[in-house]
Amino acid sequence: MKLIMKTNALPALCVAVSVVFSAATALASMPRAGEAAPLFTGQDQHGKTVRLADLVGKKIVLLYFYPKSFTPGCTKEACGFRDRMAGLKKDNVEVIGVSFDTVARQQQFTDRYRLNFPLLGDPDGKIADLYGVRMGDRKMARRVSFLIGLDGRIVHVTDSPDPEAHFEQMKRAIDGLKPH
């Protein structure tokens, strides 16, 4: 009987170790503050090509990933950035949103909520994977924001399902970049 229990426990232990290792690997691939931001190119809701390389040295970039357009939390976050845009622009911040949605879906989301910043369609997950924010093997990104300084390095990362945490933490990080 004891032999059977040990045999059944071994596969469960292997699965548990695998899950922990996979989670650690996913977190390890997400860039951290102080590291160079991975360069990306994507298409926004208007069909325009957006390249991080074109913004480095010119703008502070608030790059935020969100799970899915039109969902309550994602709508709250997008509208929150929209409503804070005047202050963000004053601080030389360019907001860019990214989700697995298509460019056409991003256009619908923009039109419906009058969004005033680029939303990149990333249906194949290339940008999400570059930043290590994919939700496991799903075609969905976690809610993660990266503040990228003028030098192209990541200044701050917010990894939280709560949109308010992103607004508050990014504001503090942006304020920290201002000369005192």
Report, as residue numbers or ranges, the catalytic residues: 74
**Contact between 62 and 55 (Cβ < 8 Å):** no
**Contact between 158 and 145 (Cβ < 8 Å):** yes
Q: E strand or H helix at 96, and its extent?
A: strand 93-99
- Residue 107 sits at φ, ψ, to 5 deg, of -65, -45
d(CA 170, CA 162): 13
Q: Count other Cβ atoms within 10 Å, centred on residue 61.
A: 24
Token output for 47: 């069909």
**What are the angstrom distances between the C-alpha of 119 and each of 76, 109, 154, 176?**
15, 9, 20, 26
β 154-159/60-65 pair status = unpaired
d(CA 70, CA 7): 47
